[in-house]
A and B are shown apart, each in its own frame.
Chain A
Amino acid sequence: MNGAQATQTTGGGDVLLRVRGLKRYFDVSRPLLNRLLEGKPRQILRAVSGIDFDIQRGHTFALVGESGCGKSTVANLVVGLYRPTAGTIEFDGQDLAGLQRRSELAAIRRKMAMIFQDPYASLNPRWRVFNIISEPIRAFGLLKDKQAIIDRTAQLLTQVGLSPEDGQKYPHEFSGGQRQRISIARALASDPRFIVCDEPTSALDVSVQAQILNLMSELQRRLGLSYLFISHDLAVVRHMADRIGVMYLGRLCESAPADTLFENPRHPYTRLLLDTIPDIEMTGRKRVPVAGEIPNPIDPPAGCAFHPRCPRVMDVCRRERPHLRPVADGVMVSCHAVDAPDHSPGTQAAG
C-alpha cells in the first residue's frame, strides 16, 4: 500500500476523509464560585487547535505524538464522540456538521468504525461475544433474520482468526490479543469503509502486536479499508502508514508520506522523536542532547509551542506561531526555521 508516496493529497484524488481547521477546546475552569473567590480566570484546554489532513481511499493515515498532543481527541472528533469547537469534517463528500437527522447520521456512522486501545475495557464484560459483534448489525438494521445474523457473526469471527464457537464465550475468557481481534470483528460488522484505530496495539505484547498489525494490513488489502491510525509508537506507524502527521500540543508539525518522513524529517520535533526513541537496531547514531518535557497543554508557550525545546529556535519562534506549509512533494511542515530561506535545512542526517 505505497500508493500515496508521490501524490500531494490536497484536492483531487479519491479523498475519503477531509478535515480542515479542526478545533476542540475543553473548558476545564474551576467552578464559578471558586473562580470568583480566588480571582482566577477561565481555563481552556486547547486539545486540538486547527488540524488539516486528507485520507485517501484505501490508505492509512497515521497521527503520531506524545501524551497531550491531541491525537486521541482528533480520533474522537472524526468518529463523532465529540463535537468540534470549529472546523469541518467531510466524509465521502458529506459535511458531518451539517447532518442533523438521525437517519443521515446513521448512514454515515455505518461506514465508519472505531477500534480502541484497551482490549480489556473495549468489550462489555457482561455480554457474550456474539452479541458484542452483532450489535452494529442489529443497530443499523443490516440483517433482520436471526440465522443471517448468526452466519454473518461466524463469518466475521473467522475473518479475524477466531472460531465461530467463540461467539458463545465471554470476553474474560480471551487473551488481550484475542480481545482485540473481537474488537476488529465488531468494527467490521457494519461493512465500513473507514476505521479509526486509537492505539490498537499499545497495550499488547510485541509478538501479539505483530499478529494484530498483520491482520489489520491483510484486512485492508482484502476489503479496501482506509485507516486513521493513532499511535505514539513510530516504529509501528512506519510499518502501517502511507502518510504520517506528527502532532505536538494540538497542532500538526509535519505531515508527509511515510518513507519521506523517516528518511528526511524536517521539523525539529520530528527529528527529536526519531533520535530519542530507544532503538533495537543500535546503529550507533549520535544522540542529540535532549532537553525539556512536554509543556502543560492548558498553558502552552507563546509563539511556536515547541520553541523552549527546539535546537533551532529563533527570535520569531517565540513571538509568532508558524503555519503548515508545503515544502516539497507531499511534505507539509509548520516551522519558521524550515520556512526561512537563510536557514536552509542543510545537513539532514539520515534517520
Chain B
Amino acid sequence: MAKPASLQAVHIPLHRRAADALRRAADGDIFYSFIHSPVTVAATAVTVLIILSAVLAPWIAPQNPFDMASLDLLDAHTPPSWMADGNPKYLLGTDDQGRDVLSTILYGSRISLEVGFLSVIFSMVLGVGLGIVSGYAGGWLDAVIMRVAEIQISFPAILIALLTDGILRTVIPEARAEELALTVLIFSIGISGWVQYARTVRSSTMVERNREYVQAARVIGIHPVKIMLRHILPNVMGPVLVIATIHLAVAIITEATLSFLGVGVPPTEPSLGTLIRIGNDYLFSGEWWITIFPSAALAILVLAVNLLGDWMRDALNPKLR
C-alpha cells in the first residue's frame, strides 16, 4: 500500500529544527526583555569578554607568568605603565617575583572560572539529582535527604568547604596532593552548594509529580527513574539555570576566599584569590597595584554574573511576565 505523502511529513531534520528554535527565541518575549535592558546587555558583554580573555589567555597574554624561565627578577615591583617608573611592557605593573600583573590576572581568571564552573556543575548535578529523588519518592527517603540538607544549610558554606577540603587533604596521600588539589577544591565548593538546588527542584518535582502527564506515564508503566529523567527533569530545570548563574558568582568568590586563606589552589597555579593574598602583603608598602587590579577584576566578574542572574530570574519568572 503506497504511503500518502502526508504521512512522511512527520519527521523534520535536526538542522531545520535548530534554525526554527533560534528564530523562535529571537522572536520571543525573553529576548525582547533582554535587548531592552541595557544593564543586562552590558553585564553579559562583560562576562563574555572576561570568559573569552580567560580562555584565550595563552594567546593574548603578554607573558606566561607561570613559566619561571620567562621571569626577570630585576623587573619585580614595577608600577603600572602610566606611572613614573612604569614599563610599557608590563601594562599593570609586576609583582614581587617579576610576574606581569595583567598576565597573572588573565591566567588567574582561568583558574577561578574553571573552578567556578566545574563546582557549579557538580553542585547542580548533585542537588538536582537529590532534589528530584526526594520530591518524587517522598516518604523516608525524602525525610532523610531533607534533614541532611537542613543540617548542612545551618552552617556557612565557606565553613563546609573548608571542612571538606581539610578532611580530604588528610585522606589523600602526600604524593598526589598537588595534582588532586584542584579536584578537591572543586569537590569541596560543590558539596557546599547543592542544597539550594535540591530544595527548589524538590518543590517543583512535588508539583509536577501530581500532574496528569506523569500519571499518564505511570499508567503506561514507565520505570520511575525514566519518569524522573525524561518527564520531570525537563520541567523543573527552569529555576535551576537562574540559581546556577548566581551560584557561579558565589563559587568564584568562595574559591577566591579559600585561596586567599591559603587553602585553595596550589601556589603553582595561582587564581585571582591567590593574587589578592600575595598582593595584600605589599599593600601598605605602597605597591597597591598587585592587589587592587586582581580585586577589581574579581569584583567586575562577580558583579556582571550577578546582574545577568538577576535579569534571568525576572525574565524567566512567569508571574512577572
A and B touch in the complex (CB under 8 A): yes
- Annotate A288-305 by CB proximity to B: 1 below 8 A, 0 otherwise: 000000000000000000
Shortest distance between the CB of B186 and any CB in chain A (Å): 30
Interface stretch, picked from B104-112, B208-216, B264-272, is: B208-216
Q: Is the CB of B211 within 8 A of A121?
A: yes
Question: Restricting to B242-295, which residues have a CB under 8 Å from any CB of A?
Answer: none
Residues of chain B contacted by A190 (CB below 8 angstroms)? 220
Choose one: A106, A116, A163; the contact of B216 (CB below 8 Å): A116
Interface stretch, picked from B8-16, B161-169, B175-183, B305-313, is: B8-16
**B19 at interface (Cβ–Cβ under 8 A)?**
no
A117 to B213, CA, bound (A): 11
Q: Which interface residue of B6, B213, B215, B235 has the most chain A CB atoms within 10 A? A: B213
Choose one: A139, A154, A167; the contact of B221 (CB below 8 Å): A139
**B159 at interface (Cβ–Cβ under 8 A)?**
no
Closest to A122 in B: B212
Residues of chain B contacted by A136 (CB below 8 angstroms)? 220
Known: A125-B235, A139-B221, A168-B12. A154 touches B216 (CB 8 A): no
**B222 at interface (Cβ–Cβ under 8 A)?**
yes
Question: Restricting to B212-238, which residues have a CB under 8 Å from any CB of A?
Answer: 212-213, 215-222, 231, 234-235
Q: Is the CB of A106 within 8 A of B221?
A: yes
**B7 at interface (Cβ–Cβ under 8 A)?**
yes
Closest to B235 in A: A126
A117 to B210, CA, bound (A): 13
**B3 at interface (Cβ–Cβ under 8 A)?**
yes
Shortest distance between the CB of A129 and any CB in chain B (Å): 10
Residues of chain A contacted by B216 (CB below 8 angstroms)? 114, 116, 122, 183, 186
A316 to B137, CA, bound (A): 46
Residues of chain A contacted by B217 (CB below 8 angstroms)? 135
Q: Is the CB of B221 within 8 A of A109?
A: yes
Residues of chain B contacted by A14 (CB below 8 angstroms)? none
Closest to B3 in A: A151
Known: A114-B219, A135-B220. A154 touches B10 (CB 8 A): yes
Shortest distance between the CB of A99 and any CB in chain B (Å): 12
Residues of chain B contacted by A126 (CB below 8 angstroms)? 234-235
A2 to B16, CA, bound (A): 51
Residues of chain A contacted by B3 (CB below 8 angstroms)? 151
Q: Is the CB of B10 within 8 A of A150?
A: yes
Q: Is the CB of B212 within 8 A of A117?
A: yes
Closest to A150 in B: B10
Q: Is the CB of B218 within 8 A of A164?
A: no
**A1 at interface (Cβ–Cβ under 8 A)?**
no
Q: Is the CB of A81 within 8 A of B218?
A: yes
A139 to B10, CA, bound (A): 20
A183 to B216, CA, bound (A): 9
Residues of chain A contacted by B11 (CB below 8 angstroms)? 150, 168
Closest to B226 in A: A139
Question: Restricting to A170-213, which residues have a CB under 8 Å from any CB of B?
Answer: 183, 186, 190
**A153 at interface (Cβ–Cβ under 8 A)?**
yes
Closest to B214 in A: A124
Q: Is the CB of B10 within 8 A of A124?
A: no
Shortest distance between the CB of B217 and any CB in chain A (Å): 7
Residues of chain B contacted by A154 (CB below 8 angstroms)? 6-7, 10
Q: Is the CB of B7 within 8 A of A124?
A: no
Residues of chain A contacted by B219 (CB below 8 angstroms)? 79-81, 109, 112-114
A109 to B9, CA, bound (A): 31
Q: Which interface residue of A106, A150, A153, A154 has the most chain B CB atoms within 10 A? A: A154
Shortest distance between the CB of A279 and any CB in chain B (Å): 31
Residues of chain A contacted by B9 (CB below 8 angstroms)? 164-165
A113 to B217, CA, bound (A): 11
**A47 at interface (Cβ–Cβ under 8 A)?**
no
**A28 at interface (Cβ–Cβ under 8 A)?**
no
Q: Is the CB of A165 within 8 A of B221?
A: no
Q: Is the CB of A109 within 8 A of B220?
A: yes
**A123 at interface (Cβ–Cβ under 8 A)?**
yes
Shortest distance between the CB of B54 and any CB in chain A (Å): 33
A81 to B6, CA, bound (A): 37
Q: Which interface residue of B3, B17, B221, B234 has the most chain A CB atoms within 10 A? A: B221
Q: Is the CB of A130 within 8 A of B235?
A: no
Q: Is the CB of A164 within 8 A of B7?
A: yes
**A155 at interface (Cβ–Cβ under 8 A)?**
yes
Question: Restricting to B7-66, which residues have a CB under 8 Å from any CB of A?
Answer: 7, 9-12, 17
**A118 at interface (Cβ–Cβ under 8 A)?**
yes
A183 to B220, CA, bound (A): 13
Residues of chain B contacted by A102 (CB below 8 angstroms)? 221
Known: A126-B234, A126-B235, A150-B10. A121 touches B221 (CB 8 A): no
**A105 at interface (Cβ–Cβ under 8 A)?**
yes
Shortest distance between the CB of B147 and any CB in chain A (Å): 15
Residues of chain B contacted by A127 (CB below 8 angstroms)? 231, 234
For the complex with contacts A102-B221, A123-B213, 16 further pairs of A-B residues with Cβ separation under 8 Å are: A81-B218, A106-B221, A109-B220, A113-B219, A114-B215, A116-B212, A121-B213, A122-B211, A124-B235, A139-B221, A154-B6, A154-B10, A164-B6, A164-B10, A168-B11, A183-B216
Q: List 13 A-B contacts (CB under 8 A).
A: A80-B218, A114-B215, A116-B215, A117-B212, A121-B212, A125-B213, A126-B235, A139-B221, A139-B222, A150-B7, A155-B7, A165-B10, A168-B12
| Those 7 A-B pairs whose CB atoms lie nearest each other, nearest first | A122-B212, A126-B234, A116-B212, A154-B7, A124-B213, A121-B211, A121-B212
A interface, CB within 8 angstroms of B: 79-81, 102, 105-106, 109, 112-114, 116-118, 121-127, 130, 132, 135-136, 139-140, 150-151, 153-155, 163-165, 167-168, 183, 186, 190
